Structures are given as structure tokens and as C-alpha cells.
Structure 1
Amino acid sequence: MKRINIVLYRTVFILNLLLILGMSWGNKNFNSNNISSTPAIPSLAPMLEKVMPSVISINIEGSTIIHTSRLPHQFQPFFDDNSPFCQKNSPFHNSPFCHSNSNSNNSANEKFRALGSGVIIDAEKGYAVTNNHVVENANTIQAQLSDGRRYEAYVIGKDARSDIALIQLKNAKNLSAIKIADSDNLRVGDYTVAIGNPYGLGETVTSGIISALGRSGLNIEHYENFIQTDAAINRGNSGGALVNLNGELIGINTAILAPDGGNIGIGFAIPGNMVKNLTAQMAQFGQVRRGELGIIGMELTSDLAKIMKINTHKGAFVSQVLPDSSAFQAGIKAGDIIVSLNKKPISSFAALRAEIGSLPVTTKMTLGIFRDSQIKYIFVELKPSVKHNMNFGDIYTGIEGANLSNYLDKQKGVKVENVKINSPAAKIGFKQDDIIIEVNQNLINNLDDLKRALDSNSNVLVFRVKRGINNIYLVSE
């Protein structure tokens, strides 16, 4: 019993000693001097103090022409400005159905006011970038700086396909411009800060991260390669800045996914590199002078890759090369897969279209082509963009609407005798005198072969077609 008491006393003594030492250590490490030297909580304020002067609020007064034709909607296209029904020699010329006729009362000039945001990118010249939809149909533009100064602004150039516009602040002095970062270096998870003028409240800052890169297929713009962020973006933020933690511009806020009209953490911004390329052209020419690669392409889906026996699943599938185009002269062929542009990976056809769509005429580049299970590099110089009487990128199921026959000119295949307008076959892209020589990489010698191929219940049909001296690919899915 005595031994037990001694052990207990020793235990209590040791515990008290440890407690005293612990208190002494705690006092030593948590004195007032140490508390004052604790690092401050990180803040965005220093960065924002530098960036905010370059972000402007934009007030628009404009007008649009509202057509009030009583024609049913499905008939209105027959009486638009370019319709033969509305030409001077037409009996319908003076009718109220012809929109542009000055003698008709079928249109009204409706005035509106709108709000948006912009970002100063050239302090010396007073240039600021915003969205095309912010300044579209504007009669007057007023830009307000963070310090309250107001300036009249006017449009230098705009581009509806990318939704980018360049404006100039009139007689503005002592401006602050933002630096544009290399948006190719962005990564999912990078921190973002959105600055703009939501709902006309004035400069507002929200933060988040990059949720995704290269977003497309949203049917927002023609060229889609968006940065997706969860930083709150609302109405009025359009044209505002998306910046990194260094205060560099990484994108121009453009759109939100908002089923109920409010922010749900899915916003989209146009990448800084695209903004830089397009505004440079606007500053020089007053418009975008795009170069054209000269291909018709589509997304490389897993089904398409399987049918074509392609062991890659990223890239832009080339279904057709236009005659005398940049691609044609460089040696690009139908069936090629473009996987890189100047060593930058190309993940999809939408990404390729967005990249090419921001490059000016005569741009020289190197394309990485996947062909015959190998990567080949091809040098290309972009030619001026021209209009083609073709329907780019539309893919429909079925082959109904084409009259076919066995090709009897000492060659194997099935000839397309004619194609009914607006038929499934026409929408796939078939034309009169096309020769179908393969379906899903199976040779087509005659109509029986074609029938078996069409009856295969494949989700995707890839037609290899001889058109003139060229081979092209048409896809139905």
C-alpha cells in the first residue's frame, strides 16, 4: 500500500512539473510580442487597388428597329430585306410585309438603355475592351471610371462572332491600363477575381476559381473556347474583367448559365489571348480580318474514332478540304485529325475554330496532323476568309432524299444521281454526282454493299465520298 502511495505521489509530481513547464513554454511562445508578429491574413485589397482603375462602367443609350408584321412567323423570312418579293419590281414592294420599305408602317424605332462593363487595355490611346452585345445598336456610350470621371466613348471595331468590341474614351487623360496575361497558361483550379458593374450597382468584386477551360457547344457565340468560373457574374458584368491574383487580365466576362435569371456559379469569359489578338486587328483596321484554314470539320467522338480505327480521342476531325484553300495547298487531307497548333494541343474542333478565328490573314503556323497512326507536322499560311455556299458543321441522320445508282464508269461505288433539297441526304452534305466508296471503312462496290452498310444499325455512319478529284468524309449520327 505504501509503495502504491509513493508511485502515486511521484506521478502527481511529474504531472505538476509538466504542467508548470507547459505554462512556462506557452507564456514564452504566446506573449504579446509574438502575437503582434503573426503574419496578417492574406487580402486581395493590394491587388485590387492596382486593377480597379482599369475597369469601367458603361452606360448605353440606343435604339433598335422592331418589326410589327402581321404575317405568321413561318412566312416572315419570305419577306425579308433580301427577298425577291420585296424588290422594286415586285408587286409586294409597297406592302406592309416588306420590312425595309419606307412607305410601310410595319416597323418601329424602339429606344433602350443598357448597362455593361469594360476594361482599359491602352491608357495612352484610351482603348477599352468590352462585349459586342454591350455596345450593339448603341447611339451614345458613356464610360465611368472608378474615381467617378465620365467620358464619352465610341466604337473603334466590333465582332459579333466572338462578342468582342473595342471602344475609345474621348479626350481621356491619366488612365490606367491592365496587363493581359497569357491565357494559354491557365489551369483548372487557378483563383479568379471578377470585376464589373452588376445591375448598375457600380464596381463589384467577386472571387472563385477556374472551373473548366475550353468550354464550347453552348450556342452563345460562333467562336466558343470559354473559361468557366464560379466567381459570381451577373447582369451588367458583361465586358468586365476576369483577373488572376497578380491582377492580370485572363478573360472578358461574357455570359452566365442562369436558368432562373440568377447566378448559380457558372460563368463564362473569353480568354485573354483571343481578346488580345482580336482587339489588335480592330485597332489597326477597325474590324477583324480573319484568315481561313479552309476545312470543314467536326468533333472527334469516341464512336467516330472507333469506326475510323483511330487510336486518339482528342482533336479536330477533317471531313473535307476546300479547293485552293490554305489547308489544300499545305497538303491537309480529309480524314486527318488536327491535334495541335504551334505545339499547343487542340482538344476539339470547336477549340480549333476558336483559335483560327482569332488569327489574322497571312498568319503562319504549324499544325500537328494525326494520319496513319503517326503525327505529322504541316506548315500553313492563312488566306483571306471567303464565303462558301456550304453548310458548315451541320450533321443529320438518314440518307433519304438521294437517288442512287451503281457507278458504271469502270469503277466501283454508288453514284448520287440527285439530291432533294432539304432532305436528310442534303443535310448530311451529299451532292449530285458524288460517288460513295466507303461506309465506316467498308468498301462499297454497289448498291447491295451500301444497303448492308446502312442496315448495320451503327449509331454513326462515316461515308467516304469521291467528289471530283477529291475524297471527302460525310458523317451521319
Structure 2
Amino acid sequence: MKKLGLFISAALVSSSLTLAIAPAQAKLPFSIGSQEMPSLAPMLEETTPAVVSISVKGTHEIEQQRIPEAFRFFFGNPRQQPQERPFRGLGSGVIIDADKGYIVTNNHVIDEADEIMVTLKDGRQIEATKLGSDKDSDIALLQIEADELTEIVVSDSDELRVGDFTVAIGSPFGLGQTVTSGIVSALGRSGLNIENFEDFIQTDAAINSGNSGGALVNLRGELIGINTAILGPNGGNVGIGFAIPSNMMRNLVNQIIEFGEVRRGVLGVTGLSVNGEIAKAMELETNQGGFVEQVAKDSAAEEAGIKAGDVITKVNGKRIKSFSELRGKIGSIGAGKDVKITVVTREGKERTYKVTLKKPQSPKLEAVKLHNMLDGAQLESHEDEKGVKGILVTSVAEDSPAHYIGLQANDVIIGVNRTKTNNMGELREFFKDREGLFALNVLRGNTTLYLMLR
């Protein structure tokens, strides 16, 4: 469950809503007398197999209740040990690549889970592997191995307009797949303190707990968002639901596939949202956007020419309403990517800058998170011209642990022990909670060798 204001639930779908659809946008499978009846059924028959139910099991640590000071004379002062408590959870997910078995869901659905089980619409149950996740944006990527999967078509969420019809698909309360409908109520919702990076689609499609990670689609059955949270007084639906836009999801998932994690780009500005009061005080000609208070030295923004006092009004040609929305959009774009930033300058002129986002000031090496003997190696997911997948070693620092075990630049890690690793996410998942001696299977030119990790 996620809480905000009165209540925010770990999202979504249950009740139904009557929706009048223009006949031009819906198929007409049957009629009563001479009256043709519009229906979403043909679209849903093609789309719903791409939405799955997710059940998880695991344990999390809880602190034991501390002994009050007045009673420590009788019980002493034993060291407080964290206690593990088992948990179970339910959510939803969306198949975005049938060939590779990729499923997108929310991070909070699978966070801390030891077992992730996916149930397809046809009833098949398959254990999933977590390839990577991002807590700050609440996105996670899973993978299953199965035949005859159905993937969803991902739409361009930047083309959405308030008033567009929406359909939410998921498994609320563990009831099984459920469909509800509504419209886009608002775009670019941020500042809700649900996630660290927010740029939500708001919809009035009925949404309830257990639908987190499910699909928000348009009338063509294309994915426009990942259902994430609801606003309600007691966890019930009141017609205010939030979904992560499909473009934001796609940016984040592509980074997880390539690196095994999200590597955010940094613009290098601090500021606040423009409102009437700020616009009056600064004599601005706009009442919306992100007012730039400071530009960090040697940042992407400084190199592009953005200055303190500018108001950022658009990202890649799409208007933004607040600094929070700016932060959410930039936060889903990877380091090294180019982005067009439009500003209204202090002189009142509109200018557009091409900005190449930089890495955070103190990036953590991916190798440190995998195994301490890989410290000093820069790694990235890789696929060669022959279709061989693995993890490419782009560089190895001299006298580092990775150098000590014999790892070299241009080596390709293709497995550990007898487990094949196709990307950074799979390599990280292998090392998770494992100790002991490991044999790193490395492809060096046309030669295969093993390097030992102790």
C-alpha cells in the first residue's frame, strides 16, 4: 500500500464504469434490432493476454519492540536483533516483449520478494526472474521463459490529451483479471510524494489495491501507462488513479536491460515551480514552468548555456507545468542522452538548448554491487554481430581486484559457474545473497576461459 493525503493504495482496477464510445472508435460486433452496440470486447480479447497476475513471497526484517527503561532491571538490556517476518503480496504486470519474456511491473510489487510467480491469462504459472528495478520511479523488470506469449504494443504517451479514453487492466484484490474504463483526467501530475521521480497520468478509471503494475491502455489496446497508485479515503476507489507514462517506463526499462540498473542523467539545476506570486515578483511572462535558482558548475545545463533566472518551459518540445514535472521527466532519461530544453530567459526571450545529460557527481561502480573481486571493472550489457549476449568489460583499472583476477578490457562475461548470464540484470541476480567460490566464464576473442572469484 502507498499512502498520500487521505490514502494512496498500491494500485488498481476493480469496479466498472459506463463508457459511451464514438462508434467510429469501436467495433460493432452485434446489434439489438436496428441499433448497433459499441463494445470494447474485440480490443480486449487481443490485449488482455498481455497482462499478468503476480504473486510474491518473501521475508522482511522488523525491529523487535524495545524494553522500556523502567523494566530493564528485571529483563536486563539484551542486544536487539532484527526479526524476520514472512509476507505475501499480489500485483499485476505487463508483457512488453514476448520473445524475451520481459514483464514490466511496479518495484513495490516485488520489492524484497524471494519468490515471484507470474500467472498468465490462460492459467499457466511461471516463476519469474528479477532483472532489475528502480525504487525512485517504482519500475521493475522481470523475465519468464514460456512459449506463445502475447506482448502489448507500447504507445507514445507524449501524444496523450486530457479527455482521451482509457482502459485499466489488472488483478484487484486477487480476484483475477478485471477491466475498467474512464478518461485521462490530467497529465504531468507531480509533487504527490508517491515516488521520488513523478510525472503521472491521472485517470478516473476505477482502480483498486492489487492492480499495481497493470496496464493502462487506449482504445486501440496500446499501452499508455503502468498503473501505480490511487487516492482515496480508506483505500477505496474515488476516481483518482495514477499511472507511470509509457515513455517514462520505456526509458527506464531500456536502461535496466542495458546496464542492469537505471543510470539517470543529471541536468544540474536547482529551482522551484513557477506560480503567480513568483511570476509577479520576477516579472515573468509565464505562470508555469521550472524557475532555475542555481546552475551547478561544469554541469550539463551550464555547458548548454542555461542560466539562473531562466524558466524551463518545455522538455523535448513538450510543455511542463512545474519543477517537479521537469525533475520527473529528466529523471527517466539516461546519462549521455541528448535532450532539448526550452527556456524563457531573464530577458523574456524563448530559447531552445540541446543538452547532453551527465552522470551523477559520485556514481557508484556497477562492479562493486556485483562482487568485490570485480571492483575496478566497468561493465555493460552487450550483444555482438553474431547475436552472442553477455557483459562487456569496457575497462579495467590497474592494480584493482578485477585486474588481479585477470580480467581484461574487451572480455565478455557469458556466465558464472554453470549459469548463463545475458545481461547486467542477470549477473546481478546471480550474485544476490550468494557467497563462496565462483568461476567466471569469459569469452576472450575466440577463446573461452574461467576466472576464479574468491
TM-score by length of 2: 0.69
**Amino acid of the residue matched to residue 307 of structure 1?**
A
Alignment match, 1:178: 152
| 1:139 and 2:114 matched | yes
Give the superposition deviation at 1:243. 0.5
Give the superposition deviation at 1:386. 2.5
| 1:52 and 2:52 matched | no
Alignment match, 1:119: 94
| 1:338 and 2:334 matched | no
Give the superposition deviation at 1:71. 8.1
SS at match of 1:199: helix
Q: Report which stretch shifted further, 53-62 or 214-223.
A: 214-223
Alignment match, 2:63: 67
**Amino acid of the residue matched to residue 133 of structure 1?**
H
**Amino acid of the residue matched to residue 289 of structure 1?**
R
Alignment match, 1:148: 123
- Measured against aligned partners, the alpha-carbon deviations of 1:93-118 in whole angstroms (never above 9, x if no partner) come to xx86xxxxxxx443100110000000
Alignment match, 2:368: none
Q: Report which stretch shifted further, 208-217 or 118-127.
A: 208-217
How many positions carry a matched residue from both structures?
324
Q: Of the two, which has the highest radius of gyration?
A: 1
- State the distance in 2 between where 1:294 and 1:387 align: 13
Give the superposition deviation at 1:68. 2.1
- The 8 Å contact of residues 188 and 320 in structure 2, kept in 1 or not, is answered as no
The 5 A counterparts of 1:22-421 are 38=34, 40-68=36-64, 70=66, 104-169=79-144, 171-371=145-345, 372-387=347-362
- Measured against aligned partners, the alpha-carbon deviations of 1:118-151 in whole angstroms (never above 9, x if no partner) come to 0000000000000000000100000000000111
- State the distance in 2 between where 1:54 and 1:249 align: 10
Give the superposition deviation at 1:40. 2.5
Structure 1 unaligned residues grouped into runs of 5+: 1-34, 73-94, 97-103, 389-477
Give the superposition deviation at 1:37. 7.6
What's the C-alpha RMSD, in Å, of the aligned pairs? 1.7
Q: Identity percentage over the alignment?
A: 55
TM-score by length of 1: 0.66
SS at match of 1:384: coil
Select the structure that is richer in helix.
1
SS at match of 1:48: helix
Give the superposition deviation at 1:224. 1.1
- State the distance in 1 between where 2:311 and 2:150 align: 44
**Amino acid of the residue matched to residue 383 of structure 1?**
K
- The 8 Å contact of residues 69 and 106 in structure 1, kept in 2 or not, is answered as no
**Amino acid of the residue matched to residue 177 of structure 1?**
E
- State the distance in 2 between where 1:377 and 1:228 align: 29
**Alpha-carbon distance change, 36 to 143 in structure 1, aligned in 2, over 3 angstroms:** closer
- State the distance in 1 between where 2:187 and 2:100 align: 32
- Measured against aligned partners, the alpha-carbon deviations of 1:42-84 in whole angstroms (never above 9, x if no partner) come to 0010000001110000000011110125289xxxxxxxxxxxx
- The 8 Å contact of residues 69 and 107 in structure 1, kept in 2 or not, is answered as no
